Amino acid sequence: MGGGSGDEGGGRGDEGGGSGDEKERLRRRRDEDEEKNVREREEGGRKERKEREKEERKERERDERKEREKEERKEREKEERKERNRENGVDGK
């Protein structure tokens, strides 16, 4: 009892000299813990990606708003120039 095949020899300290069933239970629990860790890392990655996408969207919207405001300002200035020219008697043709 307690002896295993050669491939079980490099086990972790918590596997000690228990029975084969005990070792299997510990191995299964370790595998489940590792799967849980992987899921948590993936969730963290998703959260980071969502946050990054949110920031990128805000930046893009800000850039679009600035561009739109710039175009509106240019159009307004053009109209104001036309009006001033009209008032000063300059033909806009």
Tokens encoding 11: 């086990």
26 touches 15 (CB < 8 A) = yes
**Residue 36 host element (H or E):** helix 20-87
CA 38 to chain centre: 16
Tokens encoding 76: 């307004």
Tell me the whole-structure pTM to 2 decimals.
Answer: 0.46
User: Between the CA atoms of 79, 85, 88 and 91, what dihedral angle is there, to the nearest 10 degrees?
Assistant: -130
Query: For 25-81, what is each residue's pLDDT tens digit?
Result: 999 999 999 999 888 888 888 888 899 999 999 999 999 999 999 999 999 999 999
